[in-house]
Amino acid sequence: MDKLKQLWGKYKEVLLYLIFGVATTAVNFVIYSLLVKLLHCNMTLSNTVAWLGAVIFAFVTNKLFVFESKRFDLAVLAKEILSFFGARILSGVIEIVLPEQLVNLGLDATIFGIDGLVAKALVSVIVIVLNYVFSKLFIFKKKKENDR
């Protein structure tokens, strides 16, 4: 049990980031499915609203639980929100554009009958890492004691 506590202490942030990342994906899929199935919205609208809901969920969970940013004054909150959405838009563009580029460069393996799945999976890993780095180093950056 002590070993688990040590591992949790050492990797808490990364583990919480992964846990809430899975939850964010679930939020995205649930919103999308509800909009398509129950409200009969088209795919583009459903996907857009689902992405927006997932990003809002990710912001809240990243701020409060993963990076433990406890500042709520308007200036800090506005900067975090704008930075977070900007980073997610950037990583979203990467997620849309890069798989096709990788396929064009020869990473075009078909898995489970799905063209470009290897490229898509690789880009997903890159996007997850980028989002973590953006959040840790730029968005929810903790100030050093002498910077306060």
Reported as a single tens digit per residue, the pLDDT across 112-129 is 787 888 888 899 999 999
Question: 124 φ, ψ to 5°?
Answer: -60, -45
Q: What percent of the chain is modeled with pLDDT above 90? A: 68
How many CA atoms within 13 Å lie on the side-chain side of 126?
A: 17
- Of the pLDDT bands very low, low, confident and very high (cuts 50, 70, 90), residue 142 is confident
Minimal CA–CA distance to 130: which of 139, 143, 117? 139
Q: What is the pTM of this model?
A: 0.84
What value does the mean pLDDT take over residues 94-116? 87
Q: What's the CA gap between 57 and 19, in Å, rounded?
A: 13
5: left (phi over 0), alpha (psi -120 to 50) or beta: alpha
Radius of gyration of the chain (CA): 18
